[in-house]
Amino acid sequence: MAWLKGGTAVCNPPPRKVKRPYRLVLLGAPGVGKGTQAELLAEKLGACQLSTGDIFRAAKSLDPGERSPAMTAALEYMQRGELVPDDTVVGLVTERAGCLRCESGFLLDGFPRTAAQAGALEALLGNNGLKLDAVLSYELPIDEVVARLAGRRTCPGCKAVFHLQNRPPKVQGVCDHCGGALYQREDDRPESIRVRMAAYEKSTAPLAQYYRDRGLLIPVLAKGAPEDILQRTLKALKGKKAGH
């Protein structure tokens, strides 16, 4: 709640005492399954999953009087179809610095997105006597990303998502839940996916290098079942800890 609303909102106490709190950043292009891994890691490590996307979605449902200046500014940029600038995103996270001090640790998903944001995060953590343990970069060959996303089909009615190979509907082209006619989103067409991937790689390259230079970047192959990728991630984290 403190992450979603900011201000004076407080979170419920962590459900269990975490022996070793991890403070991690998660990177990954659309389609690599980063969101799924964030959920699995949060459950396994006991850390709080902190997504900037969740803040934006929550801000839309708040009354204008409940929004902080940074939330209001971010929504205005989004409504104009513009990217939210670094200083506004950093402002959103700074308002929620208490979440970074959580005794359970945290998983940052969606922030930072640029090297400038990474520098601001490093300074913010330093001001609170904290530092990152690692930056997990989930990677997958582009042909496999295309295959994953191009197979998705979405229901226009209930918004349920299916996959032609991994999670097909009971009746081809028909939603299991409401009977709507499934369609392929424009963003899920192979040509669109390749454009998005190229844009992601171009924008993320300086960020990855920033963390590589600091010895924090851990590449993780995002291939196989979610549980297999989770075990690969945990093994990499354990190896990094042993290396320190």
152 assigned to active site? yes
Q: What is the pLDDT of residue 65?
A: 83
CA distance 98 to 156: 39
- Choose, from 17, 60, 131, 185, the residue flagged as catalytic: 185
- Choose, from 34, 96, 148, 153, the residue flagged as catalytic: 34
- pLDDT reading at 148 higher than 60: yes
Sequential DSSP letters for 3-27: HHH-TT--PPPPSS--SS-EEEEEE
CA dist 127 → 72, 120, 121 (Å): 26, 11, 10
153 assigned to active site? no
Domains of the chain (ranges plus CATH)?
Answer: 2-6+19-139+216-235 (3.40.50.300)
Q: What is the pLDDT of residue 223?
A: 92
* pLDDT above 90: percentage of residues in the chain: 65
CA distance 17 to 234: 19
154's CB contacts (< 8 A; 6+ apart) are 160, 161, 162, 182, 183, 184, 185, 188
- Confidence class of residue 58 from pLDDT cuts 50, 70 and 90? confident
- pLDDT reading at 13 higher than 70: no
Inter-residue contact 96 to 48 (CB < 8 Å): no
Pairing of strands 48-51, 22-28: unpaired
Q: What is the pLDDT of residue 12?
A: 67
- pLDDT reading at 38 higher than 90: yes
Q: What is the pLDDT of residue 141?
A: 92
- Choose, from 23, 67, 96, 113, the residue flagged as catalytic: 113
Choose among 40, 197, 210: nearest CA to 112: 210
The pTM of this model reads: 0.85
What tens digit of pLDDT does each residue of 177-226 get? 999 999 999 989 999 999 989 888 888 999 999 999 999 999 999 999 89
What tens digit of pLDDT does each residue of 92-131 get? 999 999 999 988 999 999 999 999 999 999 999 999 999 9
Greater pLDDT, 18 or 60: 60
Look over the chain and give the mean of its residue pLDDT values, rounded to a whole number.
90
Q: Looking at residues 35-60, what average pLDDT do you find? A: 91
170 assigned to active site? no
CA distance 241 to 134: 9
Q: What is the pLDDT of residue 92?
A: 93
CA distance 155 to 159: 5
Inter-residue contact 55 to 90 (CB < 8 Å): no
Q: Which amino acid is at 173?
A: G
Q: What is the pLDDT of residue 243?
A: 57
DSSP 3-state of 143? helix
Q: Looking at residues 2-31, what average pLDDT do you find? A: 81
- Choose, from 67, 148, 152, 153, the residue flagged as catalytic: 152
Q: What is the pLDDT of residue 14?
A: 57
- Choose, from 196, 223, 232, 240, the residue flagged as catalytic: 196
